[in-house]
Structure 1
Amino acid sequence: MSDTTYTKIFSGNFIIVQLAMDRLNGAGINAIIKDESESGRLGGFGAAIQGYQELFVSDEELEQAQAIISSVKEELESQE
């Protein structure tokens, strides 16, 4: 088992996180989504913020992932 560590690189609503995840996957980066509200729901508990997710990448892919996340943020800001 490897000792890979992960860093949170992005957080937001479900739709934006899915967009970022798709871009990362397209670049060959395996990201992990953490969704506390869904985990709580499945465990029988409620959550304060529905649809809020966090996106994590391995430290080995962090630099490349940061560039992709920056471009996603720029794209979203230009559409506002």
Structure 2
Amino acid sequence: MQAHQGSSAGGRWVPTFATDIEPGDKIRRGGVERFVVARDYPSRHQPTYRVEYTTGGESIGKLAIVSIWDPDGSVSQRVQDISAAAIR
């Protein structure tokens, strides 16, 4: 997936699967930006999980596409590491 430039200098939006979301991430989904404060870590057989934002929460499909704000390259590295681990 290709990352897109964000509105702030020095960062970018990284498109990835919702399962890659972690607390502390700023995500964009359906044109809405939210700050993630918590998430569930259900069994791998469950297709959805709960994500909590500063403004509420929702259940989200693990394979839903979201964009995570990456101000310093750490999100891109995390997503690559998760993908590499899944391939092994």
Q: TM-score, normalised by structure 2?
A: 0.39
Q: Larger strand proportion, structure 1 or 2? A: 2
Q: Larger helix proportion, structure 1 or 2? A: 1
Q: TM-score, normalised by structure 1?
A: 0.41
- Structure 1 or 2, whichever has the larger Rg, is 1
By relative contact order (CA 8 Å, sep 6+), the higher-ranking structure is: 1
